[in-house]
Amino acid sequence: NAGVTQTPKFQVLKTGQSMTLQCAQDMNHEYMSWYRQDPGMGLRLIHYSVGAGITDQGEVPNGYNVSRSTTEDFPLRLLSAAPSQTSVYFCASSSSGTQSENSPLHFGNGTRLTVT
């Protein structure tokens, strides 16, 4: 039971570098999302997807790109990393974008990103 798998677990980037945070789920969930977690600010929604080929912006989308070519994968791309993007990133999925006890969000274990 893999659930939601995020890679890598840790990453250090220099300002201006690009990278992709990977997220894969094996539960056939239609809804996937990316959050960033910063001290004292809780989780903030970056981008989300309600199905393959469909993505939309969340609360803090600037500096990030996403695509959803398959149901299983939802990668998050940083085109030109900035120190302000230092954070812990969580990918989550559920069977529905409207949460319920039957379809809560399932979270990955996070990627801790440092941009110097």
Nearer to other proteins, 52 or 105 (CB): 105
Work out which of 16, 70, 104, 116 binds other proteins, going by CB under 8 A: 104
In the block, residue with structure tokens 């989308």: 61
Smallest gap from residue 110 Cβ to other proteins (A): 6
Task: Give the residue, chosen from 4, 21, 24, 81, that forms a contact with other proteins under the rule CB under 8 A.
Answer: 4
Measured distance CA(57)–CA(38) in Å, rounded: 19
Taking CB under 8 A as the rule, does residue 22 contact other proteins?
no
Determine if 33 is a binding residue for other proteins (CB under 8 A): yes
Q: Does the protein bind other proteins through residue 12 (CB under 8 A)?
A: no
Residues 83-102 that bind other proteins (CB under 8 A): 90, 92, 97-101
Report residue 83: phi and psi, to 5°: -55, -30
When the beta carbons of 31 and 64 are compared against other proteins, the nearer one is 31
How many CA within 13 A on the CB side of residue 56? 7
Is 27 in a helix, a strand, or coil? coil
DSSP designation for 103: S
Torsion sign (Cα): 39, 41, 42, 47:
negative
Q: Per the structure block, which two tokens stand in for 85?
A: 């993007």
Q: Which of 11, 17, 19, 45 binds other proteins (CB under 8 A)?
A: 45
Q: How far is the CB of 14 from other proteins (least distance, A)?
A: 24
